[in-house]
Amino acid sequence: MWHMPLEEALLRARIRRLTRRSRLRPSNRRLPRQFRRSTDPREVTPARTAQLIITAFGVALVAGTVLLLLPGARTGEGGATVLEAVFTATSAICVTGLVVVDTPTYWTPFGQAVILALIQIGGFGVMSFTTVLGILLARRLGLKARILSSAETKHPGYGDMRRVLLRILATTAVIEVAVAAALALRFHAGYDYGVGRAVWHGVFHAVSAFNNAGFALYSLSIMDFAADPWINLPLIVAVVLGGLGFPVLYQLRKEWRLPRRWTLNTRLVLFASPILLLGGTVFLCAVEWSSPTTLGPMGTGEKLLAGFFQSTVARTAGFNSIDVSAMHPVSWLGLDILMLIGGGPAGTAGGLKVTTFAVLGYIAFTEITGGSAVNVLGKRLPRSVQRQAITVVVLAVGAVVTGTMALMLMHEDLGLDRVLFEAVSAFATVGLSTGITAELSGPGQLVLVALMFLGRLGPVTVATATAYRHRRLLYELPEERPLIG
């Protein structure tokens, strides 16, 4: 049933009284423009917004694939194969970082520029569209809900999409330019790169880091710089800022001294992110500290830096400063969890988002303690948000399990731990790999392509389809409780 805001309902009632007196037929044209009920099939609804996002990514994917198929995009004679181009374009537009060919040696500077453009489009597109999606959904709320939303965000201009997009663009540009400058200076001063090469490497890795893509211009990713904090720390800053999400960055810029005004989204992201970063660092250092193939040969400071870097990029950048393929299977399982959780919503990070898992944690805590309502940091959580979080997680787990089983059927010799790691990395758009991506068969690589696309757009479209879609029933079925557990 369609529910109109109170102000609109009162205005319509007044018009009906007036038209009844004058025996005129009421018309939408008599209403102010903001209160007219649209009959235009092109109206931007949440479901149509999801379709537009998928279509836009599909068009960008096709365009990127065509460009990578050009002979000038590949070193040597001839062009790339269709599968190589499709996989690389998908990994770039979905800001994942998984590769089937060596980026610095296989692709020419033109091909690398195409990859960089796809990364920027994918990262900015997802961040901007998810933010705009929230605005569109807020506009569909009633008057009371909109007032409450505006009061909570402390942002009266929340509906100005143009201003929001410009802020996202400005935020992206400032962070990427700053990180690129820091990296370029280090490459030039510390590694004797020429100015042009230093700037190119700085820009490429800054864009890749902020957009949480994980593409690198080195065959061993960042392993050659594992002990260099002047390379690691700027990349960490870019990954973290991109992973926090634009709503959090904007509110911190405006109200970083006023935590009491922070929205629940900002509080959850800032509460969960440090725990995951530090927890992942402690976990990886504890497991890999004495391993001769990973952290063992390093000094204490280098081990802590490498552990912190790997914990950071697991959510969800895809760089690696140590050999992931040589890690202990327990480390792979821990990274699976970090990758699946991901970063903050409405940002460049992938995964299911820290807010989703925080909501699940609070739901479980409430059930265990016997609470009647799920309260999160001083706010009561709507039941629709609870159902939404459970739906997204269940569908995501189903996609990962299905992809893992499909890969296992095709490659029984690779083992469950490696295949599961690859599937989670693809779905969470991380890009970390145990080294088996290029070894997969064509159908196996297409499975990863599907997982990357689903992982990047799936949670957004599911959230769009379920948010604010209420249907009031005129009856209820009798209640009965099945046995749980």
Say how many domains are in the chain.
Answer: 1
Looking at residue 323, its pLDDT comes to 94
CA 383, CA 333: separation in Å to the nearest integer? 32
Residue 259 has pLDDT above 50, yes or no: yes
* pLDDT per residue as tens digits for the range 271-293: 999 999 999 999 999 999 999 99
Kindly state the tokens that stand for 77. 């004679």
pLDDT classification of 472: cutoffs 50, 70, 90: low
Query: Looking at this protein, which amino acid is placed at residue 12?
Result: R
Between the CA of residue 144 and those of 5, 148, 149, 308, 399, what are the distances in Å?
8, 6, 9, 45, 38
In angstroms and rounded to an integer, the radius of gyration of the C-alpha atoms of the chain is: 25
Q: List, for residues 207-240, the tens digit of each pLDDT value.
A: 999 999 989 999 999 999 999 999 999 999 999 9
The answer to whether position 29 is within a domain reads: no
Asked if the model's pLDDT at residue 135 lies above 80, the reply is no
Structural domain contains residue 41: no
71 in any annotated domain: yes
User: Stretch 453-461: mean pLDDT, rounded?
Assistant: 76
pLDDT tens sequence across 45-82: 555 656 666 777 888 899 999 999 999 999 988 889 99
Instruction: Tell me the sheet residues that pair with 380.
Output: 375
Please provide residue 374's backbone torsions phi and psi, each rounded to the nearest 5 degrees.
-85, 110
- What is the average pLDDT across 26-35? 44
What residues form DSSP beta bridges with 266? none
Task: For residue 75, give its domain range.
Answer: 50-257+265-466
Question: Does 157 score more than 50 pLDDT?
Answer: no
- The confidence band for 370, taking pLDDT boundaries of 50, 70 and 90, is confident
Q: Under a CB-based contact definition with an 8 Å cutoff, are residues 114 and 87 in contact?
A: no
Stretch among 194-203, 319-328, 384-393, 395-404 having the lowest mean pLDDT:
384-393
Both tokens of 186, joined, read: 């280090």
Residues 411-423: what's their mean pLDDT? 93
- Please check whether residue 158 lies inside any domain of the structure: yes
Is 188 contained in some domain?
A: yes
Residues in Cβ contact with 40 at an 8 Å cutoff, skipping those fewer than 6 apart = none
**Sequence-ordered list of residues with C-beta below 8 angstroms from that of 132, at least 6 positions apart, any chain:** 49, 161, 164, 165
How far apart (Å, rounded) are the C-alpha atoms in residues 383 and 479?
A: 18
Q: What does the pLDDT read at residue 48?
A: 60
Global pTM value: 0.82
Residue 476 lies in a domain: no
The per-residue pLDDT for 100 is 94
Task: Report cis status (omega within 30 of 0) of the bond before 316.
Answer: yes
Residue with structure tokens 């999400």? 245
Q: Is residue 89 part of a domain?
A: yes
Return the residue matching tokens 């374009």: 89
Contact 84, 196 (CB under 8 A): no
CA distance 398 to 424: 11
